[in-house]
Amino acid sequence: MSAASETSTGGVPRRPLLAALAGLLAAGLVGYGAWAWIGRPVPLVDAPTERLRCVSYAPFNQDQSPFQEGLVVPPAQIRTDLQALSRMTSCVRTYAVDQGLEAVPAIARELGLKVLLGAWIGRDPVGNEKQIAGLIRLANEHPDTVRAVIVGNEVLLRREQPPHGLAELLQRVKAAVPVEVTYADVWEFWEKHAALADHVDFVTVHILPFWEDHPIAIRHAVSHVSDIVDIVRRIFAGKRILIGETGWPSAGRMREGAAPGRVNQARFFREFMAMAERRQLDYNLIEAFDQPWKRHLEGTVGGQWGLFDTHRAAKFPLLGPVSEEPHWRWIWGAGLAGSLALLGGALALRLRLDLARALATGLAGQVLGALVALQIKQIRIAAVEPFDVAMAVAGIAATAAAACCALLAAGRAPHERRAAVVPFVGVLALLARRATRRDALGLAIAALRLCVMVAAASTALALAIDPRYRDFPTAVYLGPAIAFLALRAMGALATPGDGREERGLAALVLALAAIGLAREGLANQEALGWCATLALLALADLPLRFSAWRRRAAPG
């Protein structure tokens, strides 16, 4: 390792400290500009009113779930929620009459709210009887508050009751309550079972463009809802139609051209409300508050349909511009910390830093720091079990470890780097105690790369086979991919000539990337980014010439 030069070449200063400061400043400005653009307020059409006709309400907070045995949500918690909702709507829709939800009609009456009261119908006949009995009782006790009762939600879609069994329940409830009776399902299942309309007072249909078999991009989402309403009206001429659920998620994986996001969610709600007012449609929006428990069923996106987050904070206004990333400054700050860490490490190792190298190092730190911040954000919105948190922490550790390995390798002479290289088979032999200990840095690089490549192949396989509810973990693997490419350029990484294991894993990762992209389609920008990241991971093991990079990366 050589000391950094303090001389000048052609009048260009090469003092490492000054170069590092200049690189830090330039990278910070570039990062600030990029994140400020991402987090910029985006102009959108205003909603025609700040009052919603009706909104789905589930009372479960961050730590609660309807699957918790014995859970009863306290009335005080429900009262607080409904008080907040009463400022923006005059109606709430519920889906069950147990776990504390039986208190909703009485509290709603005090607050001047109407209730679309739902009973949860499934496969369990005992549970169904309890729901029906509770529904009938509450409808009779609060006829002035219960606007209508909804007997079952997407029961046909889940195939938990046959149409004739559902019809019998509807007839039984109609004979026992003084309010209107309906059933709620996605529009395709109403189309398949149109005869069920004879047993309801009005048709409650769900139209969710994001969840269609062929997902609808946000620019066409509201017109799609309008078109489906026309189809349903033609099928059920003479019946009133209630759009029982429509909405858009604020986070989660992209489906074909349908991208979740704060801006897209706000855009959908506003444009839909304008269309509904123009066409005089009755509707209920899904949903009031994010429901983290739905991540168990539908992945990250399932828990991100609320107008409010789990802390009951509004995600966006109904008037004015909306930011996709309102907290972008802390992500930029994490990037700045990454730049400071890499440049500080380079100075500590006395690496040669001219202005170009300092800028490249600072920008790499910006990217790596931001990727760590995005992974931390993902834990908050996506983690379901402690295992998820552990795996996310492992991803953050892999990003940091890969950056450290690249920095340490940069401090070695080219022949030292190459002498320290350990192929995958060497790691396996050491684990099997069939080899002596090798250079610690070379072993750490090989072991880290082996773990990352195996994890990437496993993740890519899962996304290729069953992608519907899985996120694209681009932020987890992009940092290591960049670091591994830098190590390959420096000659500190095993190349394809070192062993077939590297070639095999690289080929597998590339093949899975191609399969995933073919399945997702070119319209899915997240899938494109994920596949590009896999390609970068594999690139470090492809038989390409890195000699020019290696010469430029050598210490002076």
pLDDT digit string, tens, across residues 518-543:
999 999 999 999 999 999 999 887 76
Predicted TM-score (pTM) of this structure: 0.90
The dihedrals phi and psi of 383, each to the nearest 5 degrees, come to -65, 135
- 3-class DSSP string for 271-314: HHHHHHHHHCCEECECCCECCHHHHHHHHHHHCCCCCECCCCCE
Q: Which two tokens stand for residue 267?
A: 């855009």
Q: 338 and 442 share a domain?
A: yes
Q: Which two tokens stand for residue 218?
A: 């946000």
**16 in any annotated domain:** no
5 pLDDT above the threshold of 50? no
114 pLDDT above the threshold of 50? yes
Domain boundary pick from 257, 289, 323: 323
pLDDT at 173 (0 to 100):
98
83 pLDDT above the threshold of 50? yes
The dihedrals phi and psi of 313, each to the nearest 5 degrees, come to -100, 135
Q: 30 and 58 share a domain?
A: no
Q: What does the DSSP assignment read for 331-375? A: HHHHHHHHHHHHHHHHHHTT----HHHHHHHHHHHHHHHHHHHHH
Domain boundary pick from 323, 355, 380: 323
User: Any idea what the CATH number is for the domain that residue 207 is in?
Assistant: 3.20.20.80
The answer to whether 543 touches 502, Cβ cutoff 8 Å, is no
Domain boundary pick from 302, 323, 344: 323
Domain extent, residue 454, equals 24-39+326-553
Q: Determine the residue type at 301.
A: V
pLDDT at 492 (0 to 100):
82
145 pLDDT above the threshold of 60? yes
DSSP state for residue 469 in the 8-state scheme: T
Report the 10 Å Cβ neighbour count for 553.
Answer: 21
Residue % of the chain over a pLDDT of 90:
78
**Mean pLDDT value of segment 115-123:** 97
332 pLDDT above the threshold of 90? yes
Q: 342 and 240 share a domain?
A: no
**Residue (of 56, 159, 472) closest to 299 by Cα position:** 472
Of 213-227, 320-334, 411-425, minimum mean pLDDT range: 411-425
**7 in any annotated domain:** no
pLDDT band at 497 (very low <50, low <70, confident <90, very high): low
DSSP state for residue 436 in the 8-state scheme: -
Residue with tokens 């400061």: 21
**93 in any annotated domain:** yes
State how far the Cα of 525 lies from the Cα of 145, in Å rounded to an integer.
46
Q: 111 and 147 share a domain?
A: yes
Q: 335 and 201 share a domain?
A: no
Residue with tokens 């923006």: 88
115 pLDDT above the threshold of 60? yes
State how far the Cα of 349 lies from the Cα of 370, in Å rounded to an integer.
24
* pLDDT tens-digit series, residues 183-236: 999 999 999 999 999 999 999 999 999 999 999 999 999 999 999 999 999 999
Position with higher pLDDT, 498 vs 503: 503
**316 in any annotated domain:** yes
The answer to whether 82 touches 92, Cβ cutoff 8 Å, is yes
* Element containing residue 268 per DSSP (H, E): helix 262-279
The answer to whether 286 touches 264, Cβ cutoff 8 Å, is no
Q: Which two tokens stand for residue 239?
A: 């019946």
**333 in any annotated domain:** yes
- Give me the chain's average pLDDT, please: 91
Q: 289 and 375 share a domain?
A: no
Q: 224 and 293 share a domain?
A: yes
**231 in any annotated domain:** yes
Q: Which two tokens stand for residue 175?
A: 């004979």
pLDDT at 14 (0 to 100):
54
168 pLDDT above the threshold of 60? yes
The answer to whether 285 touches 267, Cβ cutoff 8 Å, is no
Looking at the 3D structure of the chain, how many domains does it have? 2
Q: 310 and 422 share a domain?
A: no
Cα angle, residue 102 at apex, residues 100 and 108 outer, rounded to 5°: 105
Q: What does the DSSP assignment read for 205-222? A: EE--GGGSSSPPPHHHHH
Q: 212 and 339 share a domain?
A: no
**Mean pLDDT value of segment 407-433:** 80
pLDDT at 420 (0 to 100):
81
550 pLDDT above the threshold of 70? no
Residue with tokens 């002035």: 144
pLDDT at 366 (0 to 100):
96
Q: 298 and 332 share a domain?
A: no
Q: 298 and 429 share a domain?
A: no
Q: 191 and 332 share a domain?
A: no
**11 in any annotated domain:** no
552 pLDDT above the threshold of 50? no
pLDDT band at 388 (very low <50, low <70, confident <90, very high): confident
**485 in any annotated domain:** yes
pLDDT band at 431 (very low <50, low <70, confident <90, very high): low
Q: Which two tokens stand for residue 181?
A: 């009776």
499 pLDDT above the threshold of 90? no
498 pLDDT above the threshold of 90? no
